[in-house]
Amino acid sequence: MTRYVIGDVQGCFGPLMRLLKRLKFDPQRDRVWLAGDLVNRGGQSLEVLRYVVEHQHAFRAVLGNHDLHLLAHAAGLIERPEKELARVVDAPDGPVLIDWLRRQKLLKVFRKHNVLLAHAGVHPGWSVPMAEALANEVEKGLRGRNWGKHLARSYGGKIGWDPSLEGSRRLKAITASLTRMRYLTAGGSFDSVNKGPPGTQGADLFPWFSLPSVRPTRWRVLFGHWATLGYLATPQAVCLDSGCVWGGRLTAVKLKQPDKPIQV
């Protein structure tokens, strides 16, 4: 069995199929983790979700901000849904697809490989057990019967992480860190504005994975979300979002070999 991790698909069904063909993917033998943002912008989000759910024994995902946006549409939290996402919600099998999506994780820990997987990254101020516990606070509610109400309390806003936060502000800060984070201040505060590659941000901001005050650890974070980075591998982190939906490439890595990208 080979375990793969694939970066942001964002509704790009054709590239996903070409990438799986290049990997010689066998759903009876191989396993794939998707790094979030399975949907939106690429035009075939419904097809992507249908394929993944059809082969759900072989696929798992961590949720990205666009996936949460789709869930918000399905829960009736957004008045004017994008046509591509409305197509998913209105499909005859839409409830099945939404049900699968809301049961996915925000953070996956691969202890055997010393690897963490989250859509945007993992806040450098969190230990691995702390990150798991915080992610579970959001995941547990999304899997529950009243998941729409929980999502309303967990998604949206621009709240940075602070351990003193409680209630909805705490849930929103956890969700933002795992699904929307790019730059942080030296003190670890959240920046929600800058999206460009390193060098385009202000002097007081740093990529979350390279804060000067953070000591290297044995853990490595695999993430997506940051298309302007493209594929990037550092000792502490690997970005798998190579901007497929923007005309770039779709990237996969073997979990055991994240320094060797496979792209279409």
Tally of residues, the chain? 264
Give per-residue pLDDT as tens, 23-76. 999 999 999 999 999 999 999 999 999 999 999 999 999 999 999 999 999 999
pLDDT of 216 strictly over 80: no
pLDDT-above-70 percentage for the chain: 100
Bridge partners, 249 (sequence order):
243
Stated pTM of the model: 0.96
Tell me the torsion sign for CA atoms 61, 72, 54, 137: positive
pLDDT tier at 208 (50, 70, 90 boundaries)? very high
What's the CA gap between 178 and 18, in Å, rounded? Answer: 28
Helix 65-74 / helix 167-179 crossing angle, nearest 10 deg: 130
pLDDT of 198 strictly over 80: yes
Per-residue model confidence (pLDDT) at position 145: 94
Per-residue model confidence (pLDDT) at position 212: 84
pLDDT of 215 strictly over 80: no
What's the CA gap between 135 and 114, in Å, rounded? Answer: 18
What's the N-to-C CA distance of the chain in angstroms? Answer: 22
Give per-residue pLDDT as tens, 68-125. 999 999 999 988 878 999 999 999 999 999 999 999 999 999 999 999 999 999 999 9
Tokens of 151: 């999502």
Instruction: Give mean pLDDT, residues 220-232.
Output: 97
Q: Which CATH superfamily is domain 3-263 in?
A: Metallo-dependent phosphatases (3.60.21.10)
Give per-residue pLDDT as tens, 117-169. 999 999 999 999 999 999 999 999 999 999 999 999 999 888 889 999 999 99
Instruction: Give mean pLDDT, residues 248-252.
Output: 98
pLDDT tier at 217 (50, 70, 90 boundaries)? confident
What's the CA gap between 226 and 247, in Å, rounded? Answer: 14
pLDDT of 9 strictly over 90: yes
The total of other beta-carbon atoms located within 10 Å of residue 73's CB is 20
Q: What is the dihedral of CA 204, 209, 214, 217, to 10 degrees?
A: -170
